[in-house]
């Protein structure tokens, strides 16, 4: 773990801290879900209804007509606001703003540069404008950072410890020439990071170059949950390496909790990046991607133990993951 000395007084809050709301960019790209778009919309509508019980949900839509379509799926849930904010795709975690608190405790939106995970999926011109417009909608100041990064590549305990991967932040397809020292300085300045843990590897089918929200998540200030799959040759060694890296880099008083990894999910003969780590923590619920089978029940039980004050909602994601992401990738929290 690298120690960083931030000079901004900022703090990136943990996901479990109180939200004003959650943002989604509604799925609409048929190229992303050639077979599962309707099922993905139904799954996300369930997420909206669950979250809206205890926080606002902001849904980016293409037009008034699109808002009417989505409203028909969601129903008459309270605390749902439809924002005319066109996008190329639905991955709000990555193209949306990342919120931090500034030195005075005010909310500040961070606008990373965005290039669709290294230019993999053009066009992304609309997605590049989303973060700034999200911030403007809620009246928050925005900082344009000037490096290419995505929200799914960072994980925090809310107290300055950041988990990330070199395969994303230091990838030449995002930031040519950026080295570890400069990246750590940037994360310290922008997010208030004091300690940075670098993990590696990616799960099979992942097109993000190894987002952390498929590999390890904080579930408390000093607790990290990570996947293990001793019967999965494609991932076993990488998961072991990350477990060792976490144990080596985190302070001794931190604890690690092992979680299951889903049985393989395929589409068109290709393995998809299904991961239970892609859960989302709302104010009163945890949205857990579910893929069928007994491992769903094991993961749901683990999350119930870790979040006893929240409902653990299993969201069917067998079709959602055809887009190569799940509920965490689709969401972005707006801190209170």
Active site residue 329: yes
Helix locations, the chain, DSSP H? 37-51, 64-74, 92-95, 116-119, 130-137, 166-169, 180-191, 236-249, 294-306, 327-330
> How far apart (Å, rounded) are the C-alpha atoms in residues 41 and 212?
25
Alpha helix (H) ranges present in 75-160? 92-95, 116-119, 130-137
Give me 30's structure tokens.
């048929």
Round to whole Å and give the CA distance between 121 and 298: 35
Answer whether 329's CB lies under 8 Å from 213's CB.
Answer: yes
- Dihedral of alpha carbons 55, 60, 63, 67, sign: negative
- Whether 328 and 152 have beta carbons less than 8 Å apart is answered as yes
CB 173 within 8 A of CB 209: yes
Tokens of 87: 């996008």
Show the tokens assigned to 51.
């979250």
- DSSP 8-state symbol, 11: B
Give the HSE-up count for residue 288: Cα atoms under 13 Å, Cβ half-sphere.
Answer: 27
Q: Which residue has the tokens 């094991």?
A: 298
Task: Give how far Cα 100 sits from Cα of 3, 160, 333, Å.
Answer: 19, 11, 11
Query: Which residues carry out catalysis?
Result: 329
């Amino acid at each position: 773990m690298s120690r960083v000395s931030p000079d901004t007084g900022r703090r990136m809050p943990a996901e479990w801290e109180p939200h004003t709301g959650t943002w989604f960019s509604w799925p609409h790209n048929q190229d992303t879900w050639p077979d599962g778009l309707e099922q993905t919309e139904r799954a996300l509508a369930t997420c909206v209804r669950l979250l809206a019980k205890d926080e606002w949900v902001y849904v980016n839509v293409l037009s008034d007509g699109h808002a009417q379509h989505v409203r028909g799926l969601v129903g008459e849930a309270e605390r749902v606001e439809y924002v005319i904010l066109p996008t190329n795709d639905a991955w709000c975690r990555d193209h949306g703003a990342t919120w931090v608190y500034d030195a005075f405790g005010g909310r500040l939106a961070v606008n990373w540069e965005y290039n669709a995970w290294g230019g993999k999926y053009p066009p992304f011109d609309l997605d590049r404008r989303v973060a700034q417009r999200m911030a403007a909608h809620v009246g928050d100041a925005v900082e344009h950072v000037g490096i290419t990064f995505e929200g799914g590549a960072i994980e925090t305990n809310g107290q300055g410890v950041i988990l990330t991967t070199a395969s994303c932040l230091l990838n030449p397809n995002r930031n040519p020439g950026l080295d570890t020292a400069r990246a750590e300085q940037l994360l310290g300045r922008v997010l208030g990071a004091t300690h940075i843990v670098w993990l590696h590897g990616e799960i099979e089918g992942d097109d993000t170059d190894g987002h952390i929200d498929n590999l390890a998540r904080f579930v408390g200030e000093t607790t990290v949950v990570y996947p293990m799959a001793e019967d999965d040759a494609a991932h076993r060694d990488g998961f072991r390496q990350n477990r060792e890296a976490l144990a080596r880099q985190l302070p001794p008083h931190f604890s690690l909790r092992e979680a299951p990894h889903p049985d393989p999910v395929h589409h068109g003969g290709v393995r998809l990046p299904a991961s239970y780590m892609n859960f989302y923590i709302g104010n009163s619920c945890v949205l857990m991607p579910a893929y069928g089978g007994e491992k769903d029940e094991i993961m749901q039980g683990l999350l119930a133990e870790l979040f006893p004050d929240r409902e653990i909602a299993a969201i069917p994601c067998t079709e959602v993951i055809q887009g190569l992401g799940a509920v965490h990738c689709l969401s972005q929290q707006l801190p209170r």
